[in-house]
Amino acid sequence: MIENPFVSILLVTYNHERFIRQAIDGVMMQQACFPFELVIGEDCSTDSTRKICEEYSEKYPESIRLLPLEKNLGLNLNFIRTFKECRGKYIAYLEGDDWWITSDKLKKQVEILEREPDVSLVHTNCRVFDVYRGVYKNRLIQFDGICVRERQIGLENVIAEFEGRFRPMKTSTICYRRKLMEEIITADEFLFANPEFPTQDFQLFQEMSLHGRFAFIDEETTVIGLHESISASSDEKQRLQFNLGFFRIGIYLIDKYCLPQKTINIWMRRQLYYFFKVGLLYGERSAVDYVVGESLKRKYKLPVTQALKYIAIRLLYR
């Protein structure tokens, strides 16, 4: 076992038997002049994911630490407990249904983090693989110029994301400072542990942008597996639950950061567009009542079109 890894690759996985070999192989092919460890948070999968992870941990005992569970924790708690086991100065994040495709990904990211101390996080471009069609799509991140999060540190970065003025990013492409993330979780573990929050990447990006600049490498280093998942489910009710959870993260951060009303209005209008659409099509009145109520608490005023849709939903689904 590597005693002092310079980088820890934090891999969380659950029922990823179709992808997990590619994920681990992408890590083990990394060519770097520093020692790294792969820490696998296996969340009590019901398929053969754990068996495959055990196979690899036996093959690479000096580099891989497998953290199995006997009871499923869910993404957020699994992320936190796996993070706490990481020992590297830097952490590269990876989900078990994504995989790296370049052998110098870690090397290039660490070089930036070592050279530029005000950079908190480095991310790269990526490709999307449509599992059902068996085809790769073009590079995912399309954004010309320098993003606000790459120029400065502070609340303006959060405001930019809530207003939609930011360069998109995917968690499986990122590498960041472990000590900084440790401080963030210590200060507000609820933000990452709350079971009503279906993801940890949105809040991770906001917190990181408050403490350092982001750096972007416009190279496709990662493949994002597009398949049936909580965030991309073909089941409308599952998608609704995910979006409700995402909305809860948003209002938590709006209150935590005391975001300006203009920013709240922009974000709320975009979020409510989805919920009104679902409410009209599927009669999800309780969800609509909830998001409207929370938006009104934050002084959002429904524009005429949304107000009319809300009246229609309440009349149709009493």
pLDDT tens digits, one per residue of 65-113: 999 999 999 999 999 999 999 999 999 999 999 999 999 999 999 999 9
pTM of the model: 0.92
Mean pLDDT (whole number) for 148-175: 95
pLDDT band at 242, cuts 50/70/90? very high
pLDDT band at 236, cuts 50/70/90? confident
Tokens of 69: 């569970």
Could you give the 3-state DSSP secondary structure of residue 272?
helix
Q: What is the overall mean pLDDT for the chain?
A: 94
In this structure, the dihedral spanned by the alpha carbons of residues 191, 234, 275 and 314, taken in order and rounded to 10 degrees, is: -130
**Cβ count near 48 (within 10 Å):** 15
CB 227 within 8 A of CB 131: yes
Residue with tokens 């996985």: 13
> Is the pLDDT reported for residue 258 higher than 70?
yes
Question: Phi/psi of residue 159, each to 5°?
Answer: -60, -40
pLDDT band at 139, cuts 50/70/90? low
> Is the pLDDT reported for residue 214 higher than 60?
yes
pLDDT tens digits, one per residue of 178-207: 999 999 999 999 999 999 999 999 999 999
pLDDT band at 134, cuts 50/70/90? confident
Beta bridge partner(s), residue 66:
40
> Is the pLDDT reported for residue 246 higher than 60?
yes
Question: What is d(CA 293, CA 287) in angstroms, rounded to the nearest whole number?
Answer: 10
Numbered ranges of CATH 3.90.550.10 in the chain: 7-226
Beta bridge partner(s), residue 161:
none
Kindly report the CATH number that applies to the domain delimited by 7-226.
3.90.550.10
> Is the pLDDT reported for residue 140 higher than 80?
no
> Is the pLDDT reported for residue 231 higher than 70?
no
Tell which residue, 96, 121, 74, has the closest CA to residue 10: 96
DSSP conformation letters of 223-262: EEEESS-SSS-S-HHHHHHHHHHHHHHHHHHHHHHT--HH
pLDDT band at 144, cuts 50/70/90? confident
Residue with tokens 């296996």: 42
Q: Is the dihedral of CA 186, 175, 84, 43 positive or negative?
A: positive
Give the percent of the chain with pLDDT over 70: 97
Res 4: pLDDT = 93
Res 132: pLDDT = 77
CB 85 within 8 A of CB 67: yes
Question: What is d(CA 97, CA 224) in angstroms, rounded to the nearest whole number?
Answer: 7
Residue with tokens 């920013």: 263
Question: What is d(CA 38, CA 24) in angstroms, rounded to the nearest whole number?
Answer: 8
Question: Phi/psi of residue 273, each to 5°?
Answer: -55, -45
